[in-house]
């Protein structure tokens, strides 16, 4: 009931905020409705096409961020707190003119706990929204001792990587290209991919573009596919609605530390400080990627994005209010198309895998913290879409982690490390 109250309070505030910000645009455009409404609608359609072209260019790695739209992160700057591990193990590559950074750890010759010198599978870690590579530190420490080569990537706009400051310039396709470029940069082969939250969504969407030899196993932790609102309960839907409205109203002013405490109440003050470190003393605009992800919560049904949104009346609203103000909706429409592509790919994988030998499949583990209030409804959805034949035989229905919430790698790092090690 409290979530319904929260939506009822936040929704009017959000609408008033939208109207206030558009006051200068509405009178000017409204006067043009009668005289040249076709031109206004044409401008709205042009903006949509430009957004789609930008997304495609970023997917292909052909886009280039203007220099004044990216904050170059200086790792020796004041923003970094003492004690963040593995500074000397940071490497980088470039995507669309911005630097993407990642942690790269190599085991020593006698680094394996069991004394074995045999080569073990490399492991790649992908964080979700409101996180960065720091969140994997406890799990990585344990797996490094077992002799694995480890990589922990920071998406553009997060962690150690550069920060694009224009939210409209950040697309889901940019992150797909980032993972493609990373795999090519480090020449990954026969690796294990471990992904949390939005990191898993990006992983599932990127795998269709990668060589089949890149990864041999996939671990999805509290993750999901490009979201569909009908797949979640009303309880979860309302929570996402509150999350969307709250982030929209605060518009980047919600600190990472506040969010970390909300999602993981038992996190230490030191860790809260480290979660906030990538944005400390930086302009609010550097949080654009985190805010962009937050606006992609599953709140808009596909029929609205592809039906109502295509009507003349809706396009007129876009024209009067200003097409740029519908950027998040355009991104959701593109994401719904991405959702269809990804699900059809995994459906083909399920059908083709019936004829494959067991060793040729991308074996998958789906694990969810039972105490996660945000995305726990997606566990069964992931298992169904990936297909039980592609799940590991020791967890064909996925795994509930009873002592974990949204951040299992913080709550039960030993269990997560053992889970990954078992797949390896």
Largest CA distance in the chain: 79
Which secondary structure element, helix H or strand E, spans residue 216, and what is its range? Answer: strand 215-221
Contacts of 226 (CB under 8 A, 6+ apart): 172, 201, 205, 335, 336, 338, 339, 342
Which conformational region is residue 197 in: left (phi greater than 0), alpha (psi within -120 to 50 degrees), or beta? left
Is residue 147 a contact partner of residue 115, using CB atoms and an 8 Å limit? no
Other Cβ atoms closer than 10 A to 2: 8
pLDDT at 386: 92
DSSP, collapsed to helix, strand or coil, labels residue 369 as strand
Other Cβ atoms closer than 10 A to 82: 6
The secondary structure of residue 389, as a DSSP letter, is G
Query: Can you give the pTM of this predicted structure?
Result: 0.90
Compute φ and ψ for 247, nearest 5 degrees: -70, -35
CA distance 205 to 202: 5
pLDDT at 157: 96
CA distance 266 to 274: 15
Q: Tokens standing for 80?
A: 């970094």
How many helices (H) and strands (E) would you count in the chain?
15, 10
pLDDT at 115: 45
- Which residue segments constitute the domains of the chain, with CATH numbers given? 2-355 (3.40.50.1820)
Task: For CA atoms 37, 42, 47, 48, give the dihedral sign.
Answer: positive
The secondary structure of residue 201, as a DSSP letter, is H
Q: Tokens standing for 169?
A: 């310039």
Is residue 275 a contact partner of residue 260, using CB atoms and an 8 Å limit? yes
Pairing label, strands 98-105, 150-153: antiparallel
Contacts of 61 (CB under 8 A, 6+ apart): 95, 96, 177, 180, 181
Is residue 111 a contact partner of residue 131, using CB atoms and an 8 Å limit? no
- Strand pairing partners for 123? 150, 192
Q: Spell out the per-residue pLDDT of the chain, length 424, in tens.
A: 565 666 677 666 666 666 666 555 656 555 555 556 677 788 889 999 999 999 999 999 999 999 999 999 988 765 556 667 888 899 999 999 999 999 999 997 655 544 444 679 999 999 999 899 999 999 999 999 999 999 999 999 999 999 999 999 999 999 999 999 999 999 999 999 999 999 999 999 999 999 999 999 999 999 998 767 778 777 777 776 676 766 666 665 666 666 666 666 677 778 888 888 888 888 889 998 988 887 776 667 777 888 888 888 888 888 877 788 888 888 888 998 999 999 999 988 877 755 554 445 799 999 999 998 888 889 999 999 999 889 999 999 999 999 999 999 999 999 999 999 999 8
Of the candidates 73, 129, 99, the residue with the CA atom closest to the CA atom of residue 260 = 129
Query: Environment class of residue 370 by beta-carbon count within 10 Å: exposed (0-12), middle (13-18) or buried (19+)?
Result: middle
CA distance 184 to 234: 41
| Buried b / exposed e along 253-289 (16+ C-beta atoms within 10 A) | ebbbbebbeebbeebeeebbbbbbbbbbeeeeebbbb
Dump strand ranges (E) for 11-157: 70-71, 90-95, 98-105, 123-126, 150-153
Is residue 192 a contact partner of residue 220, using CB atoms and an 8 Å limit? no
Q: Tokens standing for 281?
A: 């003393």
CA distance 312 to 143: 56
């Amino acid at each position: 009931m409290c979530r319904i109250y929260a939506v009822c309070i936040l929704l009017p505030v959000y609408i008033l905020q939208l109207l206030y910000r558009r006051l200068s645009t509405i009178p000017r455009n409204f006067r043009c409705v009668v005289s040249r409404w076709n031109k206004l609608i044409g401008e709205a359609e042009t903006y949509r096409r430009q957004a789609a072209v930008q997304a495609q260019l970023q997917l292909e790695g052909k886009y280039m961020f203007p220099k004044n739209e990216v904050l170059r992160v200086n790792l020796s700057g004041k923003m970094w707190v003492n004690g963040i591990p593995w500074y000397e193990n940071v490497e980088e590559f470039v995507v669309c003119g911005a630097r993407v950074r990642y942690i790269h750890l190599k085991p020593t010759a006698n680094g394996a706990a069991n004394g074995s010198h045999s080569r073990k599978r490399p492991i790649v870690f992908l964080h979700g929204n409101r996180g960065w590579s720091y969140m994997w530190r406890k799990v990585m420490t344990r797996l490094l001792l077992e002799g694995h080569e480890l990589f922990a990537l920071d998406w553009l706009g997060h962690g150690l990587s550069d920060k694009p400051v224009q939210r409209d310039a950040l697309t889901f396709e940019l992150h797909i290209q980032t993972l493609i470029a990373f795999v090519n940069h480090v020449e990954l082969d026969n690796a294990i991919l471990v992904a949390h939250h939005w990191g898993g969504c990006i992983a599932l969407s990127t795998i269709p573009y990668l060589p089949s030899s890149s990864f041999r196993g996939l671990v999805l932790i509290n993750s999901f596919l490009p979201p569909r609102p009908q797949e979640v309960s009303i309880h979860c839907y309302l929570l996402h609605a509150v999350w969307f409205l709250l982030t929209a109203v605060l518009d980047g002013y919600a600190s990472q530390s506040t969010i970390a405490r909300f999602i993981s109440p038992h996190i230490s003050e030191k860790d809260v400080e480290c979660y906030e470190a990538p944005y400390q003393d930086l302009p609010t605009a550097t949080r654009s990627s985190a805010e962009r992800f937050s606006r992609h919560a599953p709140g808009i049904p596909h029929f609205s994005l592809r039906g109502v949104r295509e009507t003349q009346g809706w396009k007129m609203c876009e024209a009067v209010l200003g097409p740029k103000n519908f950027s998040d909706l355009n991104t959701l429409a593109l994401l719904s198309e991405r959702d269809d592509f990804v699900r059809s790919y995994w459906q083909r994988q399920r059908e083709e895998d019936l004829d494959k030998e067991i060793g040729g499949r991308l074996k998958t583990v789906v694990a969810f913290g039972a105490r996660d209030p945000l995305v726990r409804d997606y566990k069964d959805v992931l298992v169904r879409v990936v297909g039980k034949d592609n799940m590991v035989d020791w967890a064909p229905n996925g795994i509930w982690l009873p002592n974990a919430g949204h951040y299992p790698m913080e709550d039960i790092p030993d269990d997560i490390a053992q889970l990954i090690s078992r797949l390896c």
